[in-house]
Amino acid sequence: MSALSPVAAVTTEDLHRAADRRRVHWLRSRNSRLLLLLTLIGPGILVMLGENDAPSMLSYAATGAQFGASFFLPFIVLTFAMAYVVQEMTVRLGTVTHRGHAELIFDRFGPFWGWFAVGDLTLGNFLTLVTEFIGVRAGLGFFGVPPVVSVALALVVVILFSVTSRYWTWERLTLGFAIFNLIFIPVALLAHADWSAVGHAFLSWGPLPGGFTANTLLILVADIGATVTPWMLFFQQSAVSDKGMTAADIKHGRFDTAIGALLAALAGCAAVIATIPLFVHHISAAKLQAAQFAQALEPYIGHFAAALFALGIFEAGMVAIITISSSSAYAFGEVTRTAHSLNRPVREGWPFYVVLALIAVVAGTLVLIPGAPLEYIVLIVNVVAVLAMPPALIFLYLLCRDPEVVGDETTSPLQNVLISAVVVFLTGSGLLFAVTILFPHLLPTS
């Protein structure tokens, strides 16, 4: 008679996730559709509003200040539609496999590609976190808060949210922060924009302002990078898994992601509209660093609206620091086969929490170094995100087409066409930008 296989010990993570699933089953048995939806939403809204981070909102602000109500407003909506197509795949992978994105790449394509994906993610996340702290510093700087205090406050919030040892608590706290991304909507209303011009921009979708130049290409690629980035894939799939969602919850996960994309598109367009007064009064955004946008807007939209804009930049950076740090910790734990869950107490999953805190601390410390060209760094980080996106998308696409990974949830022919179009578009954008950097004479400068 063969020996029985050892039974894995039940962890705190298992108990917490089981409690969450019992609640979901109870709500289903009671046919409580609204409460069930409110229970299951979270990762999709967080990933979309988290992507409306400080560099993204400042990129949108630079777009409005430079081009006004133009081609870029409907273009932002299109980029969030692309983001939905991409993130919907992570919902299916997370709910069906109950594993994170890095773990699946590691197992399916081998250690080399697993570490390659994590290395690509870690570099991108670190650079992005630097700009998030710039946003936090800039937003609170409008109110006279010293940079050291701003960075310290952000780090304290990240650590306090993370060590709750409960994914559900972390998610709800972060969602409470994230919803304030919509603060850009009242700022847009207070900007007294020409709404007929805004409506015309959406309905007509005119040509690229000024033609295809190096400058417009930079803004174009930066706005793409403001919407679709690698950390989103890793974060949402890991969050869906950590939340304990199953294949029965895919419909809710899709709705959650669609709502997040809609809210994020509204906030992104609002940030563009909010800075149209700078375009109208010929104020060059190229001269504005992150901390100066709210100050530049104040004479035209008033102190209250400018203060809301500054708070919006602070919120955008804060939510992104929380979510991006978590995505790095998730990926590290998945490929090193150590604990990787916000449902684990610190004593059980301390490597996960150390990585989460360490990447945030180092990035925040670098922001305190004086003299960096902040606005240019913000734009370039979004461009780097576009260049890093194709490898991540290819892995995602191959995993979603593999029946051994997702079973019956493989992508449909229509989804394959949409995904292929998104991959080609993002890859082409990144390559085009790289070519113009290497051969700047190919495009006019103005």
| CA 263-361-120 angle, 5° bins | 65
Long-range Cβ pairs for the range 394-397 (8 Å, 24+): 394/423, 395/101, 395/105, 395/109, 395/113, 395/117, 396/86, 396/89, 396/90, 396/93, 396/101, 396/233, 397/89, 397/423
- Closest-CA residue to 393 (of 234, 218, 220): 234
How much is the CA Rg of the chain, to the nearest whole Å? Answer: 22
In three-state secondary structure terms, 10 is coil
Structure tokens at 401: 């087409």
Non-local (6+) Cβ contacts of 342 within 8 A are: 162, 164, 165, 166, 167, 170, 242, 326
Alpha-carbon span 92 to 167, nearest angstrom:
20
Is 63:272 a contact under the CB 8 Å cutoff? yes
Is residue 107 within a helix (H) or strand (E), and if so which, with residue range?
A: helix 101-109
Q: How much is the pLDDT for 437?
A: 61
Which percentage of the chain shows pLDDT scores above 90?
35
Please count the CA atoms within 13 angstroms of the CA of 357 that sit on its side-chain side.
16
- The whole-number pLDDT of residue 366 equals 82
Q: Which residue has the higher pLDDT, 182 or 33?
A: 182
Model-wide pTM > 0.85: yes
Fold of 45-442: Amino acid/polyamine transporter I (1.20.1740)
Count CA atoms closer than 13 A to 249's CA, side-chain side.
32
**3-state DSSP assignment of residue 242:** helix
Q: Which residues touch 7 (CB under 8 Å, ≥6 apart)?
A: none
Q: List the beta strands (DSSP E) in 248-318.
A: none
pLDDT tens, position by position, 288-318: 655 578 888 888 899 999 999 999 999 999 9
Cβ atoms within 10 Å, residue 326: 30
Contact (Cβ atoms closer than 8 angstroms) between residue 184 and residue 57:
yes
pLDDT for 438 equals 60
Nearest to 328 by CA among 83, 114, 119: 119
DSSP codes, 44-75: HHHHHHHHS-HHHHHHHHHHHHHH-SSTHHHH
Q: Is the pLDDT of residue 205 over 60?
A: yes
- pLDDT at residue 2 tops 60: no
What is the distance between the alpha carbons of residues 360 and 156, in angstroms, rounded to a whole number? Answer: 10
pLDDT of 230-251, one tens digit each?
A: 889 999 999 999 998 988 899 9
How high does pLDDT run on average in the chain?
85
Instruction: Name which of 105-114, 157-166, 219-228, 299-308 the model is least confident about.
Output: 219-228
pLDDT of residue 171: 93
**Model confidence over 356-412: pLDDT tens digits?**
999 999 989 888 877 666 556 655 665 666 667 777 888 888 888 888 888 888 877
Residues with Cβ within 8 Å of residue 86, at least 6 apart in sequence: 228, 232, 233, 393, 396, 419, 422
Question: Which among 344, 391, 346 has a CA at the least distance from the CA of 17?
Answer: 344
